[in-house]
Chain A
Amino acid sequence: MIEFFQHAITGLMIGSLYALVAAGIVLVYKATHVVSLAHGQLVAFGALFFWLFLGGLGLPFWLSLVPAFVLTALLGLLIERLALRPLIGQPLFAAFLMTFAIFIALEGVFVLYLKGETRTLPAFLPEGNLDISGISIPINQLISFCVAVLLFAAVSLLFKYTKLGLGMRATAEDHRLAQSTGIIVKNIFSYIWILSAMVAAVAGIATANVMDIYYMLPYIGISGLIVAICGGLDSLLGALVVGLLLGFVENVGAAYLDPLVGGGVKDVAAYVVLLAVLLIRPYGLFGLVKIERI
């Protein structure tokens, strides 16, 4: 039983990273209805910026965090202003493809900068393990997990109780209607990309703490996208629940099914979950079901 809980907890820790990545995708979709494929790059650049200040320049943790957030937010804003704003009024598919183009372009910059090397974040969280009845939990990952949950709560509160959040929700509902009530929709788009980029920076730093910064890092965006789709593209709660669920399924599945099927469960778990969810609930587990008149 202890072994099961050990696998489950490790899975939930990984799942919290997926959830964080998915949160950024959901935020953008909620306000703009654009599914961003570029998000994985924002995650990677968030981690890279943080490394530049913490590992590269040797600044203290807090002094590294602030400029990393600012630079990632700036990158998010630039993407919105330069690449996506000109596409307002165009089919959403064009914007979707544009985010793919951004992913490829930023990937070029990312790998060019890394030159094939790996950047490792110096230890900035307490190391060691917490031992609870034989279950070992790495303290730094527990902190990442708590940060993820708190961040979800903060973003949800922002959406629900602030004027900006109200504007974002109104924009998500209907752009024209929101505009007619005095909301400057274009500004909302900018704010949402900034917010999404800052969430991506948190996700990037947390992920890089586990797997280092190298060419694979942006591809965690794919897991984030799967989580966002399964949770319902417009549901933050969905991103959190499905992120944790996916981490759990991947880890526990690999632990108990690998010996039966000869391995590889971890690689396919996400896609099996995606397939199952889309077949049963095409709008995702927590997504808003929209009925359109024909």
Chain B
Amino acid sequence: MRKQSVIFLLMVLAICVGLVTLSSTSFAKEVSYLSLADYTGPIAGLNVPADMGLEDYIKDINSKGGVDGVKIKFIGIDTRYDVARAVSAYKRYRRTPRLLVVNSISTGIGKAVARLIERDKRLQIVPGDGEFQAHIQRTFIWGPAYQDAFAATLDWIMDDWKAKGNSGAPVVGYLSWDNPYGREHLRGGKEYAEKLGIKFLPPEFFPPGTLKHDVYLTRLAKAGANYIHAGGVDPTPTNVIRDAYALGITKKIQMTTDYWGPTALGIGVHAKALEGTVITSFYQRGDDSRNNPFVADLWKKHRGSMEKFNEVYGMGMSWGMTYVAGLTAALKAVGYDNLKPDDMYKAYQGITGLDKHGIQGVCAYSPTSRRGSLEVKIYRVKNGKIVPITDWRKAPDAVSLHKF
């Protein structure tokens, strides 16, 4: 009996050792990417298609054998736009082997996780917080900073104002979410407006999910705004512009939005209200994105028909391209066995000029730059479609105008 027990225990032990060996072999060469994303909350409309693009891109890379034989593991966590949930998720996953990049999709979350990233000597990417350009650390921005892109919008506003035969400078109103994202554009953007001589009205802020925005729009219109910039992640900007349209404001005042304004997918239903809206974007929008073969092919391969195509998908792909370029450089520098998150941080600073197949401008990461790219393109909603009205143009450096 005793002998049988010993044999049984030895067999169990052998199976366990076998399983451990097998699993460590199958995950022998793997690196991780953590996405702290909002899949079910106020910015889900942005996060879901973006992470779809990233995941599909990673799947493609993995199916081709990975990066120099190293497979990429995508970990997506639903934060519901909640900073506490995101911080807790990061703490839970920070010990994941070879977790090289954390994408904190929210300005508030990015700020909160940044300290932990510094402590762990890791790398974080965030949407557009200019603070990380002002104080160079381990946090990188997806494109130009929010304030840079807002400054580009102001440049366009000045051009448009003059093209309409006006002299002097216009009056510009701003309304957005009452949170770090909503306020970020103004930290440098406001100074840039002053520099251009634009009269910038006191900004209006409201929480995500506000039913009607009439009060804020009426106040800005009454104060004499010629242009109103509607912030927030869609559907918020769409709903703000719908309200403005219902009030008859869009007839007299030009509405503008940032990258998270209406997508081609959402414009169909509110085409009338959104007509003429100007969108400043650092990634391709509308048919520009739909006609980009690199983006369209991946979508068709993984998602089928282009009927439900969302241009944010392309932006997610560009995160993947950056990751792959960084990983390639890091592997070349130290090899897989010595690879640490800090090596990825070093590698990201050296991928300056990386071409992203036209989805956005070339990568501008360097030891002194945390901007993912420097260019923006201005689009306009025309006959229910998003059409470009400018070529790629360099966004002004508004970050340096603000004291952080």
Contacts and interface: CB of A to CB of B under 8 A. Distances in A.
A118 B47 CA distance: 13
A115 interface: yes
A214 B40 CA distance: 9
B219 to A, nearest CB: 7
Nearest to B222: A3
Contacts of A116: 38-40, 44-45, 47-48
Given A3-B222, A264-B205, A210 B48 contact: no
Contacts of B247: 129, 136
A263 B269 contact: no
B288 interface: no
Given A118-B266, A212-B239, A138 B246 contact: yes
Given A129-B246, A215-B44, A264-B178, A251 B266 contact: no
A211 B211 CA distance: 6
B60 interface: no
A231 B10 CA distance: 72
A266 B44 contact: no
A254 interface: yes
A275 interface: no
A117 B44 contact: yes
A131 to B, nearest CB: 9
A64 interface: no
Interface in A14-63: 14, 17
Given A7-B214, A116-B48, A212 B205 contact: no
A265 B360 CA distance: 40
Nearest to A128: B246
B388 interface: no
A138 to B, nearest CB: 5
A292 interface: no
Contact of A266 (B45, B47, B215, B272): B215
A184 interface: no
B224 interface: no
B197 interface: no
- Category for how many chain B residues contact A: 35 or more
A122 B270 CA distance: 9
A214 B214 contact: no
Nearest to A120: B269
Nearest to B40: A111
B179 to A, nearest CB: 12
B239 A255 contact: no
Given A215-B44, A259-B202, A118 B218 contact: no
Contacts of B44: 114-117, 214-215
Contacts of A150: none
Contacts of A3: 218, 222
A216 B266 contact: no
Interface string B255-279: 0000000000010011010000000
A165 to B, nearest CB: 32
A25 B218 CA distance: 33
Contact of A216 (B208, B216, B272): B208
Contact of A14 (B45, B205, B211, B238): B211
A207 B211 CA distance: 8
A118 B211 contact: no
Given A14-B211, A136-B247, A263 B178 contact: yes
Interface string A179-209: 0000000000000000000000000000100
Interface string A3-14: 100110010011
Contacts of B216: 254
Nearest to A223: B211
Contacts of A215: 40-42, 44
A115 B239 CA distance: 20
Contacts of A216: 42, 208-209
A251 B214 CA distance: 9
B338 interface: no
A210 B207 contact: no
B209 A118 contact: no
Interface string A93-116: 000000000000000000100111
A219 interface: yes
A207 B218 CA distance: 21
A118 B246 contact: no
Contact of A122 (B41, B209, B219, B269): B269
Contacts of B234: 118
A165 B30 CA distance: 67
A259 B45 CA distance: 32
B215 A254 contact: yes
A173 interface: no
A115 B210 contact: no
Given A138-B246, A216-B208, A251 B215 contact: yes
B183 to A, nearest CB: 11
Interface in A206-239: 207, 210-212, 214-216, 219-220
B278 to A, nearest CB: 21
Nearest to A107: B40
Interface string B15-26: 000000000000
B107 to A, nearest CB: 19
Nearest to A252: B215
B246 A263 contact: no
Interface string A113-145: 011111011110001010000001010000000
Contacts of B222: 3
B300 to A, nearest CB: 20
Contacts of B231: none
Give the residue among A6, A211, A219 with the most B Cβ atoms within 10 A.
Answer: A211
5 contacts: A3-B218, A118-B235, A120-B270, A136-B248, A211-B209
Given A127-B272, A210-B239, A258-B215, 7 more contacts: A116-B39, A120-B266, A121-B269, A255-B215, A255-B219, A258-B204, A266-B215
